[in-house]
Amino acid sequence: MIRTFVAVDIPVEFHATISMLQSKLIGSGLRPVDPSIVHITMKFLGDVDEAKLPEIIAAIDRLDCPSFDSRISGMGAFPGMKNPRIVWLGASGDYSCLHEQLEDILSRIGFKKELRKFIPHVTLARTTYLSHVRKKELVSAIDSFRDFDVGLMNVHTVKLKKSTLTPKGPIYETLHEVDLP
């Protein structure tokens, strides 16, 4: 079994800015994501049998969405600012075509459709335990970057990735990529 997901990578040119933003959040109770592996998860597939990979690849090869521009901007938290568990940057642009087609084509080969509303985002960090004071500091820092603009990128490739979890963090490997017209 291999842990897999479908994603859009963030351009290398954004990594330094993402690292700078993370440095403004650093403190106890926060695990930042390595800027070199940040991405926008389009569909988490979970643990799949390796024998199913050709079927998954054939399915995502059927994507028929045009490439589009996406602005990475605005910091926030899931599930919300009262209880920040995941710190993120927003991603605007026409992700709906990709999301809807991925949900449809992958549901045909046995993957459940996601019931939650899709919110394109880049995960910057995850929280562990936050004291009341630390939570207030983090919320204040997030709020100070709520309108921060990282930049504009072109979404022209979607990737099927393998995720290997290690004590030092996940290691991602691209298994297949699809170029959008």
Number of Cβ within 10 Å of residue 45's Cβ equals 18
How far is residue 146's CA from residue 141's CA, in Å, rounded to a whole number?
Answer: 9
Q: Does 39 qualify as catalytic in the annotation?
A: yes
How far is residue 13's CA from residue 11's CA, in Å, rounded to a whole number?
Answer: 5
Task: Please identify which of the residues 39, 99, 156, 176 carries the catalytic annotation.
Answer: 39
Please answer whether residues 169 and 30 qualify as being in contact, where contact means their C-beta atoms are separated by less than 8 angstroms. no
Name the residue type at position 64.
Answer: D
Whether cis (ω within 30° of 0) applies to the bond prior to 120 is no
Rounded (10°) angle between helices 132-144 and 15-25:
140
Task: Please identify which of the residues 15, 99, 121, 156 carries the catalytic annotation.
Answer: 121
The phi, psi pair for 136, rounded to 5°, reads -65, -40
Q: What amino acid positions are annotated as catalytic residues?
A: 39, 121
